[in-house]
A and B are shown apart, each in its own frame.
Chain A
């Protein structure tokens, strides 16, 4: 079993829908990362959070340390949000363990 599990694996939505991607992990962590991999392959860090909630534009990330769970929300989704979203947590000496990713497709 992977130490970082994401759900769903694939997600399709209509433009404007509210999106939620979930991440559960089984290791103790200092922070959790959400990454976005564009269709072209590039990877962008969206959030690093260790507690509570962070918001950047239409993206919101929350984490519950006790439950070892994080969610990434996208409000008013748009086709340009189509990408793979990856949850990652650091093990010892900053080694990141990645989830398998959630492939999101938003249709107009």
Chain B
């Protein structure tokens, strides 16, 4: 069973479109995250939700809107896609209080290409 699953794995779309990336975790974790990995492979936090509540909202264009219908899901919706949005987006989850050995579990990533 996949612990953190993201869909789709690849997404190619035209500029100006609206798209969503879905993320689900079956680990019972309290916190979920979206990270963006740019072309230089640098990872940066975008959003964090704890029990459906927005905790972290970095300086991200408001075209990006996270939605957490329940604590097992955190979806990322992107409006009016731009070329610069092309990147790999990773979903992750963690326990609330650093329990366990690993802390974070990452999804396999969604490679978004805007053409």
Contact = CB atoms under 8 A, between A and B. Distances in A.
Given A48-B102, A93-B55, A96-B104, A41 B48 contact: no
A35 B94 CA distance: 14
Contacts of A45: 102-106
Interface residues of B, number: 27
Given A33-B104, A47-B102, A48-B101, A94 B41 contact: no
B105 A100 contact: no
Contacts of B48: 93-95
A88 B106 CA distance: 13
A10 B100 CA distance: 30
A26 interface: no
B101 A54 contact: yes
B90 A43 contact: yes
Nearest to A49: B101
A42 B43 CA distance: 13
Given A41-B111, A43-B90, A47-B101, A98 B106 contact: no
Interface of A: 30-31, 33, 35, 37, 41-48, 50, 54, 84, 86, 88, 93-96, 98, 100-101
